[in-house]
Amino acid sequence: MTFKSRLTTAIATGAVLINALAPLAMADSTITVSGNGDDSHSGVNVSNNSVANVTQTNVANITNNVTSNASTGGNSSSFNTGGDTTIKTGAANSTVNVTNAANANQANLSNCGCNGDGTNVTVGGSDPKDGNGAFSGNNVNVTNNSETFLNQTNAADYNNNVTANATTGGNDSSFNTGGKSNVTTGNASDNVVVNNVANANVANIGGGEGGSSDPSSVTIANNGAFSGNKVNLNQGSAVVLDQTNVATIDNNVKANAKTGDNKSKFNTGGDDSINTGDATDNVTVNNLANFNAASIDCDCTMSGLGVNVADNGDKSWNTVNATADNAVFPDQENAAGLGNKVSGGAGTGDNTVGFGTAGDNGVSTGAGSSTTTVGNGGNVNVLDNGTSFTLPGNWNVGVNFDLTGLQAFLGGLGGLV
């Protein structure tokens, strides 16, 4: 008798792909204040803001309750008279496969929102005729801000309760008269495999193209005497990456293969024998959870700044304030709770031949083998620039972020895609 159970759970919607998402890039800015008359007052305020906010969230709650029983035993041939008594059972095999795979986020932000052509501010000009007049006041304020927020969160809760039994034993040939009594059992085997894979975040920000802007420039030139000229240029960028995985996996597996517990008693006038087959119990549990990989290649600060203050009139007052700030805040967190309770047993013994009369008595048992393998792996964080990411077990996720990469990842989790 063979009983097979295969349970595969996949949450396809848990694989969220955002590919080639390009935040709005700041356009180039050119500010010119020139040719204004004496005692004029000019003010320019420019603010450029670019914000990209991406959130990917998966939640998976999976519970599997599996019971698999295969039995050819539990037979009785007793109280017979005048002939041989024979019980012979076939093999019993129980096979259970449980595969759970859920929660994969993949995001590619092709730039950091800051690949403009720079900011160019001119107060006056290289040609004297472009200058602003005496006693003029000219004030330019430029602010460029770029912010990228990427949040990837996975939460997985797996509960697997598996009971598998295969038995050919528990047979009874007793109280027989005038013949041989024989019990022969087939082999019994249990094979249980539980695979759990959960929670992978992969992010690529910048696409390997950097994101630094072209050089910016500030020129204050050829303005009149007693003029006041001031330029404030502030450029800042921030990349905030948060990758979080939480996995709770509980496996309760009970597997038992039995060919023993046979009885041949109180028989008269013949030989008594019990011959059992082999009992084999194999349990494999694999848990892999929580993988974060990120490549951040952003440099939104000015790649260069040229400042030219020249040829302004007597008593002129000229000020340039320029700041450039670039901040990257990567945060990768994993929390895994893995509980494996496995009970495996293989029995060929506990057989009884007794109280027989006028015959030979014998018990011959097959081999008993119980093998349990439990593998736990997880909580991996990788932060690098442009490096491919290989999960344990040859499950590959590359930071090239094409769709086939995501499918290969999910396909590696049990051939689910």
Measure the CA angle with vertex 402, ends 396 and 404; round to 5°: 60
Provide the pLDDT confidence category of residue 260 given band limits of 50, 70 and 90. Answer: confident
What is the average per-residue pLDDT within 135-147?
Answer: 87
Residue pLDDT, tens place only, 171-180: 888 887 877 8
Provide the strand spans (E) within 297-408.
305-310, 317-347, 352-354, 361-364, 368-384, 389-391, 395-397
Residues 6+ away with beta carbon under 8 Å from 390: 396, 397
Report d(CA 113, CA 117) in Å as an integer: 12
Q: What is the mean pLDDT of the chain?
A: 75
pLDDT of residue 390: 52
pLDDT of residue 236: 80
- pLDDT for 412 beyond 60: no
Q: Is the pTM of this model over 0.85?
A: no
The better pLDDT of the pair 304, 416 is held by: 304
Tokens coding 65: 């309750």
In angstroms, the Cα distances linking 229 to 41, 46, 132, 309, 321 are: 10, 16, 10, 10, 11
- pLDDT for 404 beyond 50: no
Measure the CA angle with vertex 2, ends 184 and 65; round to 5°: 125
pLDDT of residue 139: 92
What is the average per-residue pLDDT within 343-360?
Answer: 73
**What is the identity of the amino acid at 237?**
S
Would you tell me how many other CB atoms lie within 10 Å of the CB of residue 83? 12
Most confident among 240-244, 291-295, 360-364 (mean pLDDT)? 240-244
What is the average per-residue pLDDT within 6-21?
Answer: 41
What is the average per-residue pLDDT within 151-167?
Answer: 87
Per domain, the residue ranges of the chain are: 2-412
pLDDT of residue 304: 63
Would you tell me how many other CB atoms lie within 10 Å of the CB of residue 67? 13
Residue pLDDT, tens place only, 287-330: 888 888 887 776 555 456 788 888 888 888 989 888 877 777 88
Provide the pLDDT confidence category of residue 211 given band limits of 50, 70 and 90. Answer: low
8 A C-beta contact, residue 206 and residue 294? no
pLDDT of residue 207: 59
- pLDDT for 38 beyond 60: yes
- Which residue carries 């009149």 as its tokens? 224
Among left, alpha and beta (phi > 0; psi -120 to 50; other), residue 411 is alpha
The better pLDDT of the pair 285, 347 is held by: 285
- Give Dmax over CA atoms of the chain in angstroms: 136
Q: Is 130 helix (H, G, I), strand (E, B) or coil?
A: helix
8 A C-beta contact, residue 217 and residue 126? no
